Amino acid sequence: GAGVSQSPRYKVAKRGQDVALRCDPISGHVSLFWYQQALGQGPEFLTYFQNEAQLDKSGLPSDRFFAERPEGSVSTLKIQRTQQEDSAVYLCASSLDFQGQNSPLHFGNGTRLTVT
């Protein structure tokens, strides 16, 4: 595709449910990032992949959050036992170069998660 694609665009979950958010990066992009954006705030880093390797997961807020990119392309962010504070927009971004050096991040339009 022409850009980063995220699905679903909107997700409503009852508290305690598990959710899975999908990201299709731009073809050939090595690096993939997940960010969380709360209302009125800037994106906060969650985790980073270089191909299939998860090199940094320091931003994941709890062990309920899990991300994978098994074949180095599509990535899934999973949130178990969702809580109301998980409500946010989850942004995925990809970049061409190693570790994003001198290579801009291309963002998808995000998945808006609402936990009721």
Partner 1 sequence: QKEVEQDPGPLSVPEGAIVSLNCTYSNSAFQYFMWYRQYSRKGPELLMYTYSSGNKEDGRFTAQVDKSSKYISLFIRDSQPSDSATYLCAMSFPGGSYIPTFGRGTSLIVHP
Applying CB under 8 A, the residues found at the interface with partner 1 are 4, 33, 35, 40-45, 48, 55-56, 91, 93, 99-101, 104-110, 112
d(CA 106, CA 3): 8
User: Which residue's CB is nearer to partner 1, number 108 or number 115?
Assistant: 108
Nearer to partner 1, 34 or 82 (CB): 34
Whole-angstrom Cα distance, residue 99 to residue 87? 28
Smallest separation (angstroms) from partner 1 to the CB of 16: 27
Q: C-beta of 17: minimal distance to partner 1 in Å?
A: 24
Least Cβ distance, residue 58 to partner 1 (angstroms): 9
Cα–Cα distances in angstroms (integers) from residue 8 to residues 11, 22, 104, 108, 110, in the given order: 6, 7, 24, 12, 9
Beta bridge partners of 113: 11, 88
Nearer to partner 1, 79 or 90 (CB): 90
What tokens does 88 get? 């946010």
Residue with smaller CB distance to partner 1, 17 or 107: 107
CA distances to 18, 39, 60, 71, 104 from 76, rounded to whole Å, are 13, 22, 14, 11, 21
Q: How far is the CB of 104 from partner 1 (least distance, A)?
A: 4
